[in-house]
A and B are shown apart, each in its own frame.
Chain A
Amino acid sequence: MNRLTRRAFLSAITLSAAGCASAINSYTQPDLPSVVLPPTGVERDPVAHLLNRATYGPRPGQIARVRAIGRDSWLEQQLDYTSIDEDTVTLRLRRFDTLRMKPRDLLSFRSRADRRYVRDELAAMTLVRAVYSERQLYEVMVGFWSDHFNIYHFKGDTANLKTVDDREVIRPHALGNFGDMLRASAHSPAMLVYLDNVANEKSHPNENYAREIMELHTLGVDGGYTEHDIKEVARCFTGWSINERGEFIFISNWHDFDEKRVLGHIIRSDDGVSDGDRVLDILLEHPATPRFVCTKLVRRLVADDPPESIVDAAVRAWRGNNGDIAPVLRAIFTHPEFETAPPKLKRPYELLVSLLRVTNASYNGDNGAINRLDQLGHRPFGWPTPDGFPDTALEWTGNQLGRWNLMIDAFTGSLPGINIDVEALADVGRVHIDDVEALNYFGRLLLKRDLLPNEVMILRDVAETDTLQAREVLGLLAASPAFQWR
């Protein structure tokens, strides 16, 4: 099928699908429980703490449900993610043309507008899944690995090929085995483009991928490799490239068949392509790899300054299970020190998703939310450098105004595609939206604790002005310091 025909075909589908999209969206919008009783008291609720770290934020009523089955059982369910029903998300994703598109067809989107279309779809699909999927720990890990194996969406063909990387590298292995994911990533056309291995040939080696796979994907900058190791690893990966259909190929003519020495190991293969495979094995067997990756995991899930004891436990679980990810997560979330973890600042994406989840908001996949995240420096796949988005509070303290406006706009219906049904929430909380008690209820719903006296005083005072709407007051509640942390 030639390109024009295919596009015409697609737009025909889109037209006919436009009507069903809204029907599907309303059909798959989760119902609120008949009663919502958020936690009271000023102590941090332990279930809320777990959900704040292992999910993108609890939904109304979720804390009570998890408490009923027990934290450990819930965690096991989440780790066994394929057993969790995903039909509603699948239905919501049907409107996205590029979801299952082959690399060859994705690559046919060439103009700037075409590429924007592919990028926007993947970013919006990611947000839809984060908001609606019941496989929350899985989605949190997809986010983590998308940062760990960061690919910038605005470097040539990565716009097209990141969709394949998301589908075939990150998602199949996000709760699987790290070695499998690393191998898949090394063969990922998007990664080969992003880190320039497509230009790595014997006559002029390109060291970009060689450097980053050691510094950022496996060993860490202090992992014990040298500049010489980088040069040798680059030689091993010469010829790892992609064809015009956007598939991995090994170009034998580009490969450096001479002997290499990487981290003390002699590498020389007859077929050439195995040199790179051997490098991956060496990196996976190296003790620096689990320590580096587990430290990052603990930073994401526990604290900016990762507690050594939790990292140690995670590394032990990694080693005892050959790099399987689920046991590592189990070790982290069940570690006694996890309970006392200090708050983590929500980055803009997490701030938005947590609000949409905690308010049972609807999101229809509109680009408006993605563009707003772009302005806040946190568009999915929008981080330029291979180190992935920063993950400590200090790096995200700028642009407070943008965060406040994001919260206010979400509540006032000023973010395209996003709707928070405040009245429905008030109904299940058995409060009237204009009553003072509503403020306490929404406070407990968002913060999972009672509002402090000064919070009540400040917000009530604002609420009592003539023209200010309840939605704006709730926007301020979401913009308040306490909701910025998870």
Chain B
Amino acid sequence: MAEKPLLSRRDMLKATAAVSTYAAMQTIWPSWMPRLAFAQNGVSGDVLVCIFLRGGADALNMIVPFGDDDYYRARATLALGRPDSNDDSRVLALNDFFGLNPDMIALYDLFTAGHLTAIHAVGAPKVSRSHFEAMDLLERGTDGESGATTGWLGRHLQATSTPQDSPLRAIGWDEKLPTSLRGYVSANAFRSITDFHLHGDETQSDRMAAALSTLYNNSESPLDAAAAATIETLDTVGRIDVDAYIPANDAVYSETDFGRALKQTAALIKADVGLEVSCIDLGNFDTHITQGVTVHEGVGFFPGLVTEFATNLRAFHDDLLNEMDRVTVVAMSEFGRRVQENGAGGTDHGHGGVMYVMGSHVSNTPVIGEWPGLNPNFLADGDLEITTDYRDVLGEILTMRTEQTDLGIVFPEHTYRPVGVIES
């Protein structure tokens, strides 16, 4: 130590098997790939990727009930064609009743191969047509204004946290923490993993990290373990060259916030940094005016949004083809839209919507859920009725694919009934 106590950061890192093998593996790994700094922190559940389609996505024009004639009566200008029609907007049949929006064709194979399932007529029992209130309810996982003020994922993470948790256990890809993650004090909020770095002189951050590593080595405080994990994660993340990252299987992500968040999530999953929850937003789906039907027509912004959703979800699946047995993606929106289109070529706020669950372990049934029908006599205030509580979908994922053993903590006001989205 006398001549040069702080030779390099790596000397100061806790010895791991990976350090000795790193040099040998460096040559065969892609350049963006960090060394496997540490085992997965004992994480044995899936990585949950939670996508929120903000603004109220029009479920009826994503997973289209072409078998329901009332759909065509309610959507005089916005309806997508039946699969057997010659219409340019004809849907891709998922079964004899539901079809996939053709702009979401990237997901069609995943539906038919049993890697992706949609739950229709799903949502929160409490009706709210306020975006803010409805998102808040779903993200908190509660029935009403009163009740838990933390988020469902926050409670899930807090209840299953251990002193060995990774510093990158939970990420919301935004400047502010999403409501769903509130209640877990160690959740991260950033737009890019490049924000996970030590501040100060950039050229000296390795030395600064090494100094902190040594200071926290045997300081005999309960912070030592957390500090060591942080130093290792900094090191790993520092080696992930986001620009040089080449997704597997020719997957192509969009150069958008949504695409970048999914791409970086994929990189972190491959890098084994202990990620357990990744929250990503896509929006704005608030299509009151000139919603548009398909990209082909070049009108409205709904077609572009569903295309971005589908192509990036597909890219994520292709990129992580070998990892999808330990990843579950779930996508939802705060509500669906009114069944009857409005006079401005758009749709107003409704109630029942659709959720998506992706992973190699999901149900082989492409569309799940009891269909309440679109007959105006059966509608609830003009809205698609809810036949599945969204908490049953989320609860099933937590129960079947994570370490969560107490759904009463996550959804305190709800009695869980499995829906069958996960193959048992």
| Interface set of A (CB-CB < 8 Å, partner B) | 152, 154-156, 196, 199, 206, 208, 343, 345, 374-375, 377-378, 384-385, 390, 393-401, 404-405, 408-409, 412, 414, 454-455, 457-459, 461-462, 465, 467-469, 472, 475-476, 479-482, 484-485
Contacts and interface: CB of A to CB of B under 8 A. Distances in A.
Interface string B336-358: 00000000000000000000000
Contact of B165 (A156, A199, A208, A398): A398
A206 to B, nearest CB: 6
Contacts of B182: 384
B185 A377 contact: yes
Given A458-B211, A461-B6, A397 B223 contact: yes
Given A208-B146, A468-B207, A472-B208, A412 B200 contact: yes
A375 B200 contact: no
B149 A472 contact: no
B321 interface: no
A399 B167 contact: yes
B424 interface: no
Given A384-B182, A472-B200, A397 B222 contact: yes
A351 B249 CA distance: 47
Contacts of A482: 219
Interface string B166-201: 010000000011000011011111000000101111
Contacts of A394: 163, 222
A335 B165 CA distance: 38
Given A399-B167, A461-B5, A479 B212 contact: yes
A152 B226 CA distance: 28
18 contacts: A206-B146, A345-B222, A374-B176, A385-B148, A394-B163, A395-B185, A399-B188, A404-B198, A458-B5, A462-B204, A462-B207, A467-B201, A467-B204, A469-B201, A476-B211, A476-B215, A481-B221, A481-B224
Q: Give the top 5 A-B pairs by smallest Cβ distance, nearest first.
A: A398-B186, A384-B149, A481-B219, A377-B185, A196-B146
A397 B200 contact: no
B6 A458 contact: yes
Nearest to A414: B199
Given A384-B182, A394-B222, A462 B148 contact: no
B186 to A, nearest CB: 3
Most chain B CB inside 10 Å of its own CB: which residue of A394, A458, A467: A458
A384 B152 CA distance: 13
Contacts of B230: 400-401, 404
B227 interface: yes
B138 interface: no
Chain B contact surface mostly = loop
A60 B401 CA distance: 54
Contacts of B255: none
Nearest to A207: B146
B168 to A, nearest CB: 10
Nearest to B190: A375
A400 B167 contact: yes
Contacts of B207: 462, 465, 468
Contacts of B204: 462, 465, 467-468, 472
Contact of A475 (B149, B200, B214, B223): B200
A484 B215 CA distance: 12
Contacts of A399: 167, 185-186, 188
A469 B226 CA distance: 27
B27 interface: no
B223 A472 contact: no
B221 A468 contact: no
Contacts of A393: 222
Contacts of A155: 149
Contacts of A400: 167, 223, 226-227, 230
Given A394-B222, A397-B222, A375 B208 contact: no
B199 A409 contact: yes
A93 B177 CA distance: 30
Nearest to A347: B185
A401 B234 contact: yes
B199 A408 contact: yes
B101 interface: no
A155 B149 CA distance: 8
A458 B198 contact: no
Given A399-B167, A401-B198, A152 B149 contact: yes
Contact of B211 (A384, A414, A459, A484): A459
B214 A458 contact: yes
A472 B188 CA distance: 24
A281 to B, nearest CB: 26
A404 B199 CA distance: 8
Interface string B140-156: 00000110111000000
B215 A396 contact: no
B15 to A, nearest CB: 19
A226 to B, nearest CB: 19
Contacts of A397: 163, 222-223, 225-226
A433 B266 CA distance: 46
A414 B201 CA distance: 12
Contacts of B215: 455, 458, 476, 480-481
A156 B226 CA distance: 36
Nearest to B214: A458
Contacts of B177: 375
B20 interface: no
Given A199-B146, A454-B214, A462-B207, 8 more contacts: A199-B145, A343-B221, A398-B167, A400-B226, A404-B199, A458-B6, A468-B207, A484-B221
B222 A457 contact: no
Interface in B342-385: none
B221 A408 contact: no
